[in-house]
Structure formats: C-alpha cells, structure tokens
Structure 1
Amino acid sequence: MNRFWKTLFGAALFVPSLAAANAINVYKTATCGCCAEWVRHMDQAGFEMEVHEVERSGLLERKRALRVQQRLSSCHTATVSGYVVEGHVPAVDVRRLLAERPPIAGIAVPGMPAGSPGMEYGQQSEPYNVVAFDEAGGLQVFARH
C-alpha cells in the first residue's frame, strides 16, 4: 500500500462516522410499538439511535424539561445535536434540520398521523405537517407531507 492510501486509511479511523455525528437519543415507553417502528425508520436512514425506555411519567417529565408544548406532543421525544425531535418526524426532515441548523428549539409531528414514519398502515395515509417551534412558543410549518 503506498503512502497516500496509508495516510487516507489512517485518517479515516479518526473521522467520526455520519451516524455518530447524528446520534439521536429517543425517550419512549417500553410498550409503544409505533415508537419502535420510528426508531427502525431512523436507524435505516443512517442515524445512530440510543433508546431510553422510561415510564409514562418520566416521558412527560422529559417533554416538560425540553419545553415541548402539549399541542405538539406525540408518543416519543428525541434529541439530536441540541434540537428536540417530537413524534413521527421523517428522517429527511431531521437531515434538513441538521443541514440548515435554523435558530429553533426543534421540530415536531403532533399526534400520530397515519402514514408518518412508524404509523404506516397499508395504504392509509393522511396529510400532515412537521412543525418548527422555538423557545418562546412560536410555531411555523417546517415541511408538509
């Protein structure tokens, strides 16, 4: 192996993987199947998932600590690179969030809309929005699906 390839290979050992750079901590109850499906969706999209199974009261406390408004709430809450990701947000929107790094607290898919990642039921699907929210409670549409 020539010197160029040895140097390139050696440097690659010290570069964090895309998955590690985009590690997601998700908080969910142990019994929620749709949350597990969302975790699988994100894992398949290349995110490193760290799952924390908590009691319902612990999940509600996590939401309060992260300032997730009740009107944005869903069945699981996650954090990635300083942002909150609430509910069944598609991986494509999390990637966009991390690429653009807007000055917001996070993004959410309120409720559990049919057809969102983890909420697939055959051909059933409903339109839904991914909502951006800030620390002051401001909301705006981040993406439409």
Structure 2
Amino acid sequence: MQNVAAPLWLAGSLLLAASSAHAALPDSARLYKTPSCGCCETYARHLEARGIDVEVIDDQPIGQIKRAAGIPFGQGACHTVMMDGYVIEGHVPLAALEALFEQRPAIDGIGLAGMPQGTPGMPGPQLAPYDIYQFSDGQAAPFMTL
C-alpha cells in the first residue's frame, strides 16, 4: 500500500503557499502634494498603516513634478507618489498597488484621475467603479477596474 499522506501534505503546502503569495509593497514612498491638501495627508497615513515609510513633500511645484513624472494630460489628481521606480498618481486603492508590485509591468506608473469618493483618503462610499490607468511616455491605457 502506498503512503499517500506525504504527497497530499506536499500538495496542500504548495497550494497554501501559492494562494498566500503576494508581492510585498515597497518599504518607502515619497508623496508630493500642495501644502494645504488634507486628503493627501490621509492617503500618506493609509500607506503608513500598511508598513510603508512615507516622506511627504509639499514645498515643490506639484505641476512640475507631474510633468516630469509623465502624468498623462487630464489624468492628474491631487498628489503624486514615487514608489520603487513607479509613479502612483492620486488616490489609488491598495488592490491596484498590490497588482502593480506583483506584476511589475514595464510602465512608468498607474493612476486614478481626480479625487473619487470612497478611495483611500477620500470620505464616503464608492459611487462608481474606479478605473485605474497605467501610463508610459505620457500616454494612458487601462490597468484595472475596482
């Protein structure tokens, strides 16, 4: 009679490892914002609650930061985050950040235009799907919808 316990144990361990494998978010981020924006501070606290050390910078012209980062025209938001080689524009939900760092696509970054209600840092319930875009060279394309 074969010992099936060992192969079943091994298969279960591999399944558990595969289902719990998530890309770790970076340890640090730099968030650029205007001095008076409170929701940007709340987004920084959201990242810090996930173990990310956030440096908040509010003494540089945010428009210049966005242009240099290649944010597509009309797709901006109130803050821009630099994180492990990627640009994160706006109140991007955690699920999109996890997908970005799991997939690590060859793009400049991802963003969520405007300041949608219910996103991290913005009060209220989600009213519509969040269309997260990816961008490279100032051109936007769909990334995911949450």
TM-score scaled by structure 1? 0.77
- Summarize deviations over 1:85-129 as a string: whole Å, max 9, x none: 0000012221221221101110000011111111122x4633221
Counterpart Cα distance in 2 of 1:70 and 1:139: 9
Q: Match of 1:133, as an amino acid? A: F
Give the equivalent residue in structure 1 for 2:37: 32
For residues 1-145 of structure 1, the aligned pairs below 5 Å read 21-54=26-59, 58-121=61-124, 123=125, 125-135=127-137, 137-145=138-146
3-state SS, counterpart of residue 72 of structure 1: coil
Counterpart Cα distance in 1 of 2:35 and 2:50: 22
Calculate percent identity across the aligned residue pairs. Answer: 37
Number of equivalent positions: 123
Indicate if the aligned counterparts of 2:46 and 2:120 stay in contact, CA closer than 8 A.
yes
3-state SS, counterpart of residue 130 of structure 1: strand
3-state SS, counterpart of residue 51 of structure 1: strand
TM-score scaled by structure 2? 0.76
Counterpart Cα distance in 1 of 2:128 and 2:47: 20
Indicate if the aligned counterparts of 1:24 and 1:47 stay in contact, CA closer than 8 A.
yes
Q: Find runs of 4+ consecutive structure 1 residues off by over 4 angstroms.
A: none
Which one has the largest radius of gyration? 2
Q: Match of 2:27, as an amino acid? A: N
- Summarize deviations over 1:40-84 as a string: whole Å, max 9, x none: 1111122111111125xx110111111112311000001111111
Unaligned runs of 5+ in 1: 1-17
3-state SS, counterpart of residue 89 of structure 1: coil
3-state SS, counterpart of residue 118 of structure 2: coil
